[in-house]
Amino acid sequence: MTGHSGSDEEIASRKKHFGPNSFPPPKIKSIMDLVLENFDDPINVILLVAAIVSIAIGLFKDGFPRGLIDGVSIIIALMIIIIVNSVNNYISEMRLAALINSSNVQEVAVHRGSAEDTHTIDGRDIVVGDIVSFASGMKVPADMIMISGQDVECNESDFTGELEFKLKTRINDKSSKDGDACYMIGKSLIVKGSGKAVVVAVGDYSLSGEIERASGVGSEPTGLQDKLEVMAVKIGNFGILCAVLTFSSMLFRVALEMTNIIPCGCGNITNCVKIEPCQALTFEFTMKNRLWTEIMNTFIIAVTVIVVAIPEGLPLAVTIALSFSSAKMRKLNNLVRNLKSAEVMGGATHICSDKTGTLTQN
């Protein structure tokens, strides 16, 4: 067999109909995508809201620039978290893409328009209908059917889970009915023999492409993220409860003063001392009315209670610790794509996989 002609038109036509022998490259997230990912964590969202509220309250009470101190300190902590997370994940994304691209590089000898002469091309340029000349030690570049050769064995354990090598025979009436006897799976390893095979499926349409597409799943929150989220909810609820109690008690004091139960200006109902001179509380809608000033101050105190309850240093400490761990692992050639992966694997006591080495659910 001579294969197809190898003309540019022929190759373009086959790529159009059967697809290229390459998989979609891993999507490299932009810095902006990685920055926005940080706000999937509810603690970071709470920190951002707390910073905005702190700045607003600070400017109202203490003016500029003293009123910015608390809010800006929270923003600085949040920025450190975002920068460390985003930069680390971006570097890992780039290294992962380079690693995948380098692993797909393979030179393959194909027959195009000649039964004797071969052309060495990049395995990613193979198209359906190419006649590939293979030998032991070579990775099968695409799904192929063996048309000639003898004593050919392939290691397909990554796909079948079987440790025994699969004996391959050239296609004939018997092997064509035997299923996989003449079928060579792309990305499997030829451990013995040599021969020729015709390419029948490439890229996404090959068996490995189908498996890779079916196995793509989204990430789930880690144990630490779940615990931090629960803690953030508890802290938020407790802070809100304290704020409501604070606001209610101070409104109660205002109500007692307006009904003349306690003297004007009394700040402590258990030990009231009338303040002279004191402007009585009324419902007059003016900015000089002490009632609205009291309510505004009460609201500011209530919000401040919520803000100060948030531990802005905790997520920062966790991020720095995980970043340090992933940097140490990277030096040992252990690529950590996401910071949270270091926390997940660090908390693993047993790793269960099937006989192919694949981590599967349940």
CATH code: domain of residue 160: 2.70.150.10
Is residue 13 domain-shared with residue 151, that is, in the same domain?
Answer: yes
CA distance 346 to 249: 47
Answer yes or no: is 96 within a domain: no
Q: Is the pLDDT of residue 319 over 60?
A: yes
**Domain end among 294, 310, 326:** 310
Q: pLDDT band for 222, please (50, 70, 90 cuts).
A: low
Give the list of residues 6+ apart from residue 306 with CB closer than 8 angstroms, or none: 50, 53, 236, 239, 240, 242, 243
C-alpha to C-alpha distances, 275 to 136, 267, 272, nearest whole angstrom: 98, 9, 9
CA distance 83 to 77: 10
Specify the number of domains making up the chain.
2
Q: What is the pLDDT of residue 26?
A: 61
Is residue 14 domain-shared with residue 150, that is, in the same domain?
Answer: yes
Q: What is the pLDDT of residue 154?
A: 92
Of 59-63, 78-82, 162-166, 315-319, the one with minimum mean pLDDT is 315-319
Segments in 63-167 forming alpha helices (H): 69-103, 157-160
Q: What is the pLDDT of residue 199?
A: 92
Is residue 132 domain-shared with residue 257, that is, in the same domain?
Answer: no
Q: Which residue has the higher pLDDT, 41 or 361?
A: 41
Q: What is the pLDDT of residue 190?
A: 92
Answer yes or no: is 78 within a domain: no
Q: What is the pTM of this model?
A: 0.52
Which domain covers residue 230, as residue numbers? 222-310
CB atoms within 10 A of CB 359: 8
Answer yes or no: is 161 within a domain: yes
Is residue 15 domain-shared with residue 133, that is, in the same domain?
Answer: yes
Answer yes or no: is 86 within a domain: no
Give the list of residues 6+ apart from residue 105 with CB closer than 8 angstroms, or none: 122, 123, 124
Q: Is the pLDDT of residue 68 over 80?
A: yes
Q: What is the pLDDT of residue 1?
A: 66
Is residue 151 domain-shared with residue 179, that is, in the same domain?
Answer: yes
Answer yes or no: is 75 within a domain: no
Is residue 124 domain-shared with residue 12, that is, in the same domain?
Answer: yes
Q: Is the pLDDT of residue 9 over 80?
A: yes
Answer yes or no: is 95 within a domain: no
CA distance 247 to 236: 16
Mean pLDDT, the chain, whole residue set = 79
> Catalytic residue positions?
354
Q: If you average pLDDT over each of 120-134, 281-295, 328-342, which comes out highest?
A: 120-134
Is residue 17 domain-shared with residue 137, that is, in the same domain?
Answer: yes
Q: Which residue has the higher pLDDT, 226 or 249?
A: 249
Q: What is the pLDDT of residue 191?
A: 92
Per the CB < 8 A criterion, the answer to whether 104 and 123 are in contact is yes
Q: Is the pLDDT of residue 84 over 80?
A: yes
At which residue do the structure tokens 């699969």 appear? 166
Find, among 224, 213, 194, 161, the residue nearest to 357 by Cα.
161
Q: pLDDT band for 198, please (50, 70, 90 cuts).
A: very high
The pair of structure tokens assigned to 356 is 């192919």
Is residue 14 domain-shared with residue 157, that is, in the same domain?
Answer: yes
Of 106-110, 123-127, 170-174, 277-281, the one with minimum mean pLDDT is 277-281
Q: Which residue has the higher pLDDT, 315 or 8?
A: 8
**Domain end among 268, 283, 310:** 310
CA distance 60 to 55: 8
CA distance 127 to 13: 10
Q: pLDDT band for 144, please (50, 70, 90 cuts).
A: very high
If you average pLDDT over residues 34-48, what whole number do you get? 81
Q: What is the pLDDT of residue 66?
A: 85
Q: Which residue has the higher pLDDT, 89 or 245?
A: 245
Q: What is the pLDDT of residue 215?
A: 61
CA distance 323 to 88: 7
Is residue 226 domain-shared with residue 195, that is, in the same domain?
Answer: no
Find, among 62, 256, 277, 304, the residue nearest to 267 by Cα.
256
Q: Which residue has the higher pLDDT, 269 or 201?
A: 201
Q: Is the pLDDT of residue 362 over 60?
A: no
Q: pLDDT band for 355, please (50, 70, 90 cuts).
A: low
Q: Is the pLDDT of residue 73 over 60?
A: yes
Is residue 177 domain-shared with residue 277, that is, in the same domain?
Answer: no
Is residue 198 domain-shared with residue 229, that is, in the same domain?
Answer: no
Answer yes or no: is 253 within a domain: yes
Q: What is the pLDDT of residue 357?
A: 65
Q: Is the pLDDT of residue 243 over 70?
A: yes
Q: What is the pLDDT of residue 102?
A: 66
Is residue 145 domain-shared with residue 254, that is, in the same domain?
Answer: no
Of 97-101, 154-158, 326-330, the one with minimum mean pLDDT is 97-101
If you average pLDDT over residues 323-334, what whole number do you get? 76
Q: Is the pLDDT of residue 166 over 70?
A: yes
**Domain end among 175, 204, 233:** 204
Answer yes or no: is 272 within a domain: yes
